[in-house]
Amino acid sequence: MRDLLLDAAESVAAKEGIGRLTFDAVAAEAGVSKGGLLHHFTNKDQLIEGMVRRTAEGWRKHFTESYDKAAPGPGRMVRGLLQGCFTDAEQWTEELRRSFSSVFAALAQNPALIEPMREAYNELYRLVEDDGLPDGLAEALTTAIDGMWFYWVLRLRPVDQRALDRMRTTLEGILERMADIAKEPSPGTTNP
């Protein structure tokens, strides 16, 4: 039931905008009364915290699975993300965009509520930093991947299959070349 109500909340936030994310609208969308909804989420902070937490868990699950699926070795997390997020534009669904509306709702309601999302990102970057690639390469590539994601979520840039293919190819090229270069010994690059 909780999940059903969170689905409804995401739908409302995505379709009508976070400004219209009200108990009335969510209850109507879920097909229950406002009282019924308020039994599960006592106030709006709780509702939005529930939304963010679920979104963060979904993201965590996604990048963890992507990591597990990728072949071991340097750049595993980055390769996993490229494979898991950048191969099929049909994955970038309204449903996915909707799931991120919780973060904006949190930002509007009470910025402290995005904490679960921040923790998910901390976890992602722990995997990224242990990626076995030179310097900040894995971080840079991951940040580019996420930049694309934010463009799409904020509707600032069009993201279609062509754009994803292009970006994936470019990032893979960078990964390959820069990882290779690092193998060539050069003076002054060893860490003390």
Partner DNA sequence: GTCTATATCAAGATAGAC
Partner DNA sequence: GTCTATCTTGATATAGAC
Give contact residues for DNA (rule: CB under 7 A): 1, 20-25, 32-40, 42-44
- Minimal distance, residue 1 CB to a second copy, in Å: 27
d(CA 66, CA 119): 18
Among 111, 187, 188, 192, binds a second copy (CB under 8 A): 111
CA 28 to centroid of chain Cα atoms: 28
d(CA 171, CA 177): 10
- Select 50 or 75, whichever has its Cβ closest to DNA: 50
**48, 113 in Cβ contact below 8 A?**
yes
Q: Is 159 in the site for a second copy (CB under 8 A)?
A: no
Site string for a second copy, 51-90 (x = CB under 8 A): ----------------------------------------
**110, 45 in Cβ contact below 8 A?**
yes
- Minimal distance, residue 156 CB to a second copy, in Å: 5
CA 50 to centroid of chain Cα atoms: 16
Among 24, 118, 126, 130, binds a second copy (CB under 8 A): 118
- Select 36 or 147, whichever has its Cβ closest to DNA: 36
**85, 149 in Cβ contact below 8 A?**
yes
d(CA 131, CA 81): 12
- Minimal distance, residue 13 CB to DNA, in Å: 11
Number of residues in contact with a second copy, rule: CB under 8 A?
Answer: 44
